[in-house]
């Protein structure tokens, strides 16, 4: 039987966003199992939880590399020669296309919308960290540092 | 010279800490309010100051407060909107990272004025440092007795907590923010009823942008008359402008509302980079219609920008030089709107995608005759037909772009390439 959402404690459902973050942290991404567990714990239909996971862009429903590189493709990043150039450079350097993961499982490349770093563009995020005023040299340095953790 | 108000502590080391905030006059408005001001007097003072919302809509703050029911038995909430995501805007992130206590003090005063005992910070999921700064600041405010039960022995209690969003621009819209706080998809609600009567969990709720709240302690400390002396009669107070794009000095500039676009760009942002000519300006973030070089004497306040056919929005100025292809700029903006449309209203969901398809086609030299008219038709078919203002926002870059640079669009169709690129040697 499906639990009646209307009767559920409203504050309990408010924990859903946080619960999905925790599940994502534990599972690496939101697997079917992770979503079902969150649904069970909060007494919500699985479809409701999945619908949340697919609505918000920070939830991942597919496996990614250890580091998710998110390049901002907003107008302010583009105007200063960011976005395209940065993405092209990363594609060449990592030998992957946008949306793909490197063979060693270290890097996934994505493009994202405005990161609110328009005054310090081009900008990109690596997992939770923000990198601003990016150049090819800085990208090289960054990739080298991250690779260094996994030698 | 204009004396900075909201960003006055930004250059101090450790400006985000409670000690630096308190050493520079912080948390003095709160005890004053709790001791000397009945809630009605706070609302009266804020109304008299003329403060208008800084999140985009510019609604008078005092009036918004007065819409909440006065009945003490009714549970009420305050939401602090830190879901900054409008392309071109980066002021809220700086406010939270560099001086969060100013916002907390404003939030406590606002909650006291409307009779709320529970407040929520809703912060954009991408702002990882911001989340950390919020949590630390709130902890410190609790430790000093500015939050929690019986604040400063006044009998007034308030709890404040942080909720992290998960990547959805639309959650900056107040009813979508409320939905998201309730643990739902960030799909805006039909208005009315407005959140002031039916908001979070169906209770009256006040939702404010962080910059709006940051103004409150200063209004209390220095008075409504002082506040009104800054800016224009209808757009009072200081404003944090964000400048990005083709200028020498990008960044945030706190100036009185009513500063001219020319002064903002050529004096404060150092003028155009590489001495190029200015071609177009987006004055208030991606949602606001563009202006041209001939309109630089327009002043940056709610009424003047409205008269010029655009909006102050978030005060995010995006400057584009002569080498910018306006079709490409519109395509970039439309990618944003197509991605961020929540999908609830058909005109916005389908319209943004259809406009993006056409703009991509134009950019790749595959434009067809009639595409410009088709873009206009789709854009007009969204305006006014969606639950929230994002539909109108998505139509703006296309409609204003075509109005000002129609020849560039036609050139793309006729010559299968860009007029700007073609004019280069």
Shortest CA distance to B18 belongs to which of B187, B107, B146? B146
pLDDT tens column, B19-74: 999 999 999 999 999 999 999 999 999 999 999 999 988 999 999 999 999 998 99
Residue B1 above 90 pLDDT? no
CB contact under 8 A, A14 and B163: yes
Q: Any idea which residue has 């690596």 for tokens?
A: A126
Q: Where are the domains of chain B?
A: 18-228, 238-321, 326-423
CB contact under 8 A, B90 and A18: no
Alpha-carbon distance of B340 to B170, in angstroms, equals 7
Q: Which residues pair with A72 in a beta bridge?
A: A112
CB contact under 8 A, B124 and A116: yes
**What is the average pLDDT across B262-266?**
97
Alpha-carbon distance of B183 to A26, in angstroms, equals 20
The pLDDT assigned to B7 comes to: 97
pTM of the entire predicted model:
0.95
Fold of B18-228: Rossmann fold (3.40.50)
Residues of B in contact with A80 (CB under 8 A): 245-246
Fold of B326-423: de novo design (two linked rop proteins) (1.20.1440)
Query: What order do you get walking across the sheet with A107-112 strand by strand?
Result: A107-112, A67-72, A124-126, A129-131
pLDDT tens column, B194-242: 999 999 999 999 999 999 999 999 999 999 999 999 999 999 999 999 9
The pLDDT assigned to B116 comes to: 97
Fold of B238-321: Ubiquitin-like (UB roll) (3.10.20)
Interface of A with B (CB under 8 A): 10-11, 13-18, 20-21, 51-52, 55-59, 73-76, 78-80, 83, 113-121, 125, 128-130
Q: How confident is the model at residue B246 (pLDDT cuts 50, 70, 90)?
A: very high
Q: Which residues of A130-145 are buried (b: 16+ CB within 10 A; e: fewer)?
A: bbeebeeeebeebbee
- What count of CB pairs under 8 Å joins A to B? 134
Residue A5 above 60 pLDDT? no
Residues of B in contact with A130 (CB under 8 A): 126, 128-129
Structure ipTM: 0.91
pLDDT tens column, B338-389: 999 999 999 999 999 999 999 999 999 999 999 999 999 999 999 999 999 9
Cα-based angle B262, B301, B178 (whole degrees, multiple of 5): 125
User: Would you state the structure tokens that stand for residue B4, as one six-digit string?
Assistant: 């900075």
The pLDDT assigned to B425 comes to: 61
CB contact under 8 A, A118 and B242: yes
pLDDT tens column, A31-86: 999 999 999 999 999 999 999 999 999 999 999 999 999 999 999 999 998 788 99
Residue B407 above 70 pLDDT? yes
Cβ–Cβ < 8 Å for A129, A146: no
The pLDDT assigned to A12 comes to: 85
Residue A108 above 80 pLDDT? yes
Q: How confident is the model at residue A3 (pLDDT cuts 50, 70, 90)?
A: very low
Residue A4 above 70 pLDDT? no
CB contact under 8 A, A113 and B340: yes
The pLDDT assigned to A7 comes to: 41
Residues 6+ apart with CB under 8 A from A133: A120, A121, A122, A123
Alpha-carbon distance of B355 to A24, in angstroms, equals 34
CB contact under 8 A, B167 and A13: no
pLDDT tens column, B128-159: 999 999 999 999 999 999 999 999 999 999 99
Cα-to-chain-centroid distance, residue B248 = 24
CB contact under 8 A, A114 and B185: no
The pLDDT assigned to A82 comes to: 76
Cα-based angle A108, A109, A115 (whole degrees, multiple of 5): 120
| Phi, psi values for residue B390, rounded to 5° | -65, -30
Q: How confident is the model at residue A151 (pLDDT cuts 50, 70, 90)?
A: confident
Residue B51 is given by DSSP the state -
B103 by Cβ neighbours in 10 Å (0-12 / 13-18 / 19+) ranks as buried
The pLDDT assigned to A81 comes to: 81
Nearest chain B CA: its distance from A84 CA (Å): 11
Cβ–Cβ < 8 Å for A130, A116: no
The pLDDT assigned to A9 comes to: 61
Residue A136 above 70 pLDDT? yes
The pLDDT assigned to B334 comes to: 97
Q: Which of A114, A126, A130 to mutate to test the interface with B (most CBs of B within 10 A)?
A: A114
Cβ–Cβ < 8 Å for B208, B81: yes
């Amino acid at each position: 039987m499906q639990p009646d959402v209307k009767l559920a404690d409203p504050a309990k459902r408010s924990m859903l966003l946080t619960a999905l973050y925790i599940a994502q942290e534990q599972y690496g991404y939101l697997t079917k199992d992770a979503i079902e567990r969150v649904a069970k714990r909060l007494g919500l239909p699985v479809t409701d939880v999945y619908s949340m996971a697919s609505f918000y862009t920070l939830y991942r429903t597919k496996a990614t590399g250890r580091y998710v590189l998110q390049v901002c493709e907003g107008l302010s990043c583009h105007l200063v020669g960011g976005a395209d150039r940065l993405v092209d450079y990363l594609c060449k350097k990592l030998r992957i296309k946008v949306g793909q993961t490197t063979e060693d499982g270290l890097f996934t490349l994505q493009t994202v919308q405005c990161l609110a770093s328009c005054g310090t563009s081009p900008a990109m995020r690596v997992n939770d960290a923000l990198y601003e005023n990016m150049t090819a040299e800085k990208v090289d340095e960054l990739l080298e540092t991250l690779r260094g953790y996994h030698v | 010279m204009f004396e900075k108000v909201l960003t006055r502590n930004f250059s101090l080391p450790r400006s985000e800490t409670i000690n630096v905030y308190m050493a520079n006059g912080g948390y003095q408005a709160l005890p004053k309010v709790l001791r000397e001001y009945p809630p009605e007097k706070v609302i009266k003072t804020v109304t008299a100051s003329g403060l208008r919302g800084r999140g985009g809509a510019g609604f008078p703050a005092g009036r918004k407060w007065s819409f909440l029911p006065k009945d003490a038995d009714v549970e009420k909430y305050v939401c602090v909107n830190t879901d900054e995501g409008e392309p071109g805007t980066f002021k809220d992130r700086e406010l939270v990272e560099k001086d969060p206590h100013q916002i907390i003090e404003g939030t406590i005063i606002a909650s006291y004025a409307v009779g709320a005992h529970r407040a929520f910070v809703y912060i954009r999921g991408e702002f990882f440092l911001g989340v950390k700064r919020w949590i630390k600041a709130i902890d410190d405010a609790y430790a000093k007795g500015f939050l929690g039960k019986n604040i400063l022995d006044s009998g007034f209690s308030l709890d404040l907590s942080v909720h992290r969003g998960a990547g959805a621009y639309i959650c900056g819209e107040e009813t979508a923010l409320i939905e998201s706080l309730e643990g739902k998809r960030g799909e805006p609600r039909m208005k009315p009823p407005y959140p002031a009567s039916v908001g979070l969990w169906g209770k009256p709720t006040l939702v404010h942008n962080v910059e709006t709240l940051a103004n409150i302690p200063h209004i209390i400390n220095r008075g409504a008359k002082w506040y009104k002396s800054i800016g224009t009669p209808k757009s009072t107070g200081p404003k944090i402008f964000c400048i990005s794009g083709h200028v020498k000095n990008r960044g945030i500039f706190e100036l009185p509302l009513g500063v001219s676009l020319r002064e903002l760009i050529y004096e404060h942002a150092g003028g155009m980079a590489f001495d190029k000519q200015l071609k177009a300006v987006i004055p208030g973030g991606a949602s606001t219609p563009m202006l041209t070089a001939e309109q630089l004497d327009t002043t940056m306040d709610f009424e003047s920008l409205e008269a010029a056919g655009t909006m102050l929005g978030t005060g995010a100025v995006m400057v584009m030089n002569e080498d910018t292809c306006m079709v490409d700029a519109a395509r970039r903006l439309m990618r944003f709107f197509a991605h961020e449309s929540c999908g609830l209203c058909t005109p916005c969901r389908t319209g943004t995608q259809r406009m993006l398809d056409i703009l991509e086609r134009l950019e790749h030299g595959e434009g067809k005759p009639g595409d410009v008219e088709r873009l206009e038709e789709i854009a007009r078919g969204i305006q006014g037909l969606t639950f929230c203002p994002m539909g109108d926002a998505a139509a703006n870059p296309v409609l204003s772009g075509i109005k000002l640079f129609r020849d560039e669009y036609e050139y793309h169709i006729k010559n299968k390439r860009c007029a700007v690129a073609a004019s280069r040697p």
